Structure 1
Amino acid sequence: MRVLVHIDEADTWREALAQRLPGAEIVTSDDDSDTPADYLAVWKPPETLLRNQPRVKGIVNLGAGVDALLNNPGLPRDVPIVKLRDAGMGPLMADYVRYGVLHFQRDFDRYRAQQNGKQWREQPLTDKADWPVGILGLGAIGAHVASTLADDGFPVHGWSRSPKTLDGVTCHHGNEGLTTLMGKVKTLVTLLPDTSSTRHIINTDTLAQLPAGASLVNPGRGTLIDEAALLAALGDGAEEGRLRGALLDAFPEEPLPADNPLWTHPRVLITPHMAAPTPVRDAADQVAALIRAMENGESVETIDPQAGY
């Protein structure tokens, strides 16, 4: 069995998978070899790599988001695709979101603005119980984030396309459920996949449904947000708009172009898509288990290319 790895730090992944799949030949896309692979373990592979795999039996996407892979014109048809589901990313994402929620709930954005003006003024404290948080997307990572915030003492509302239940979380679904959630929360967190139905789900209409002074945290996919609508909701540099501020980790174009106005907006925090990097050790356990299952003909949870997740 031959497994081809394509990702940054591919040698680290190769070593980790070789330990977990001792009977397999593990190679990287940098190796000087044209021998086709039986399985691919990849993250954003080039089109030529995918086209040169006539005998591939399965593809493991080395991350939670599969949009780049599904949109690759070289993707072979009728080959099962599986993706990492949490694999150690949940706690990292929960920490990032927790920071974002606390940034606004504890008024650190306002204290930063006060510092720039050399103002010494304590803001009134808002209790966690009075700071409802909305989580759009209740997959493995979204559910972990929602449960973490609920355990922290925040009222948490979660949204998904179809009905779900999660202890300690008020769950909503469908268009009506989205409208209900948007009207209740002070911080909105977007953790949805990139699909035709989720692109620009944060737009002029949905932003208008948020209470005045709400905040946004997006560690999910950049395509979820209509940037023009977001900038309009944030207002200009002098006066706060309907939206108090935003913490953004993902963008439609990455790296974020230097001329993008989000860089210089005073109420926007930008991070370079670092919210939840894939921990190699935990992820390699899952990748090896998925490859063994596919090789043995066992059932695995595959991606639905039409749904996009």
Structure 2
Amino acid sequence: MTINILFAAKAERWTTYQAPLTEALKAAGLEFDLRTDFPPAEVEYIVYAPNSDVQDFTPYTRLKAVLNLWAGVEDVVGNATLTVPLTRMVDHGLTQGMVEWVTGHTLRYHLGIDAHINGQDGVWRKDIPPLAQDRKVTVLGLGALGAAVSQALVGLGFDVTGWSRSAKTEEGVNCLHGPAGLTAALETAEILILLLPDTQATENTLRAETLEIMPKGACIINPGRGPLINDHDLLEALNSGQIAHATLDVFRVEPLPIEDPYWAHPNVTVTPHIASETRPTTASQNVADNIQRSETGQPLLHVVDRALGY
């Protein structure tokens, strides 16, 4: 039987996803009808972006699952009309992109590259950085992205501590969890990387009290979610020198307003939410594989835990 699949995202996404998604569904051996418009009662799967026009799932009476195109689900997980399984995007392309971006900025801080780029003034600055084994890096969040980033940094020789809300194990990583573990993880964080989900429990993880725990002169990299940081408190910590520099890729309001103080702050690097992006080819394979699993009676992968919010 033909499987009816609704693509519910902005029109420009359909332009980039139609061909790779069609190819991936065919490669999975599925007989399907993929469209951007269906009578709701006929739809069995929705390939979804939370900023699409589909916000009320009640009319989708045959719906089996919603397959999110984004890693973040905070804008849909609380939708009371969504009662079928919701999956988040765990995609090789997205993961690899995040690993490359975070690794690059970690090395930038570790090697002191900014001082050489910005210091072309004739001064011979022979500041030799420590080896990676002597640089303490902390990753907050050990989900798929945090685990991959941690392993990449371990592979480069860094002394890596990872923190998560519940106990986890990653080879070569000092894994901590819970409130006491968070304090310990921050106390050694010369370079701190934020890869937590956006939930009520994680909002303002970095605030005055936690920023003060970190070593003076630490650096922060946030490719996770904007609300993880209390912006006022971070700016205060930057102004006082408690935090030496912050590289921020995500914000509470995007695009970041031109009047936002982060733009002009000398110790902040703003990047426009480019740390990683879902790649249509690999994401389409992920979606097709999950639909194929569902249709053959296998459990869906990467199902969101509504209680946890991710």
User: In the alignment, which residue of structure 1 is the partner of 2:114?
Assistant: 109
The aligned counterpart of 1:45 is 51
Which position in structure 1 is the counterpart of 2:5? 3
Matched residue SS, 1:230: helix
Q: 1:50 to 1:18 in 2, by over 3 A?
A: farther
2:34 and 2:194 map into 1 onto residues whose CA distance is 36
Select the residue among 10, 27, 32 that pairs with 2:35. 27
TM-score (norm 1): 0.91
Q: 2:232 aligns with which of 210, 217, 228?
A: 228
Distance (Å, rounded) in 1 between the aligned partners of 2:33 and 2:49: 19
Deviation at 1:181, TM superposition (A): 0.8
Distance 2:130 2:92 in 1: 34
SS at match of 1:216: strand
Counterpart check, 1:152 vs 2:147:
no
The DSSP-based 3-state class of the residue aligned with 1:40 is strand
- Asked if 1:255 corresponds to 2:260, the answer is no
Whole-Å Cα distance in 2 between the matches of residues 257 and 277 of structure 1?
A: 21
Q: Return the alpha-carbon distance in structure 2 between the equivalents of residues 152 and 13 of structure 1.
A: 35
- SS of the residue 2:76 aligns to: helix
Paired residue secondary structure (2:304): coil
For 1:162-201, what aligned pairs fall within 5 Å after superposition?
Answer: 162-201=166-205
Indicate conservation of the 8 Å contact 2:8/2:52, yes or no.
Answer: no
Do 1:86 and 1:141's aligned partners in 2 also have CA atoms closer than 8 Å? no
Residue equivalent to 2:83: 78
TM-superposed CA distance for 1:295, in Å, is 2.9
Consecutive unaligned residues of structure 1, counting only runs of 5 or more, are none
**Do residues 306 (structure 1) and 292 (structure 2) align?**
no
Q: Distance in 1 between matches of 2:82 and 2:283?
A: 25
Q: Which residue of 2 aligns with 1:124?
A: 128
Q: Which moved more, 1:52-61 or 1:148-157?
A: 52-61
Q: Which residue of 1 aligns with 2:74?
A: 67
Q: Which runs of 5+ in 2 are unaligned?
A: none
Query: How many Å apart are 1:296 and its aligned residue?
Result: 3.2
Q: Is the 8 A contact 1:136 1:192 kept in 2?
A: yes
Q: CA deviation at 1:44?
A: 2.0
Letter in 1 for 2:33: E
Residue pair 1:65, 1:193 contacting (<8 A) in 2 also: yes
Residue 243 (structure 1) aligns with: 243
Q: Measure the CA separation in 2 of the matches of 1:233 and 1:118.
A: 31
Match of 1:217, SS? strand
CA distance in 1, matches of 2:82, 2:16: 29
Deviations 1:7-53 (A, max 9, x none): 3431332222222323111112xx5x545421111122335454453
Distance in structure 2 (CA, Å) of the matches to 1:291 and 1:223? 32
Inter-partner Cα distance in structure 1 for 2:230 and 2:307: 23
Amino acid at match of 1:263: W
Q: Deviations over 1:193-237 (max 9, x none)?
A: 1111101101111111100110000001111111011101111xx
Secondary structure of the corresponding residue to residue 82 of structure 2 = coil
Residues 48, 21 of structure 1: alpha-carbon distance in 2 compared, 3 angstrom cutoff: closer
Root-mean-square deviation (CA, aligned residues, Å) is 1.9
* Structure 2 partner of 1:207: 211
Q: Find the residue that maps to 1:147 and give its secondary structure.
A: helix
SS in 2 for 1:150: helix
- CA displacement, residues 169-203 of structure 1 (integer Å, 9 cap, x when unaligned): 11110011111110112100000111111011011
**Could you tell me which residue of structure 2 aligns to residue 284 of structure 1?**
284
Counterpart of 1:90 in structure 2 is: 95
Shift of 1:119: 4.2
